[in-house]
Amino acid sequence: MEIADLTPAERRVWQAFPRGEVVDFRRSDDEDAEDGHAWGPERTVRAKVLRALLLSGTAEEGEVAALRVVGARITGILDLQYATVEHAVRLWGCHFERAAILYGAHVRQLNLSHSYLPALEAATLHVEGVLRLTDCRVPGQVRLGGARLSGITRTVSRQ
């Protein structure tokens, strides 16, 4: 993926990743991710951009790369099926238009707290560190069968 192909919102995420910086798209601290379907292009990020960063992104010299995004509308399917993700993933207060597919993925740290996902397919997921799903709303299926969690786990709020 070329940086020229990115929207302005995606470019912010792309440029922050190598330094592990937070990109916060929220307009206020009390936004509800369930209402994210109405969020505009200024805070919309395609799932394939996140996938490209997580699978191929690198750190700047002397920095720790991480995906830290707050309050984004994520379009498309975040498909990390069988992927090994070396970077911390924090998608806090985000609105996913489609299910996240993490089946068989191996991640170091995953935080989807305060996010809205239609479904979460994460059977046989392996998390080495913290899995945090605090106040994460998932109206559809949550599949975590066979998942291996080595660190602390926070639960899902299902509505």
- Would 54 be classed as within a structural domain? yes
Instruction: Report the chain's mean pLDDT, rounded to a whole number.
Output: 93
DSSP string, 108-129: S-EE-TT-B-S-EE-TT-EESS
Q: Is the pLDDT of residue 153 over 80?
A: no
- Which structure tokens are listed for 59? 């750190």
| Domains contained in the chain, number | 1
Residue 139 sits in which domain range?
A: 3-154
pTM of the shown model = 0.92
Residue 159 domain flag:
no
In a domain, residue 114? The reply is yes
H or E element, residue 16: helix 8-16
User: Tokens for 130?
Assistant: 């913290």
Is residue 128 assigned to a domain? yes
Q: Which among 104, 78, 77 is positioned nearest to 89, based on CA atoms?
A: 78
Separation between Cα atoms, residue 72 and residue 90, nearest integer Å: 11
Residue 107 forms part of a structural domain: yes
- What pLDDT, in 10s, does the model give residues 43-68? 999 999 999 999 999 999 999 999 99
Residue 58 lies in a domain: yes
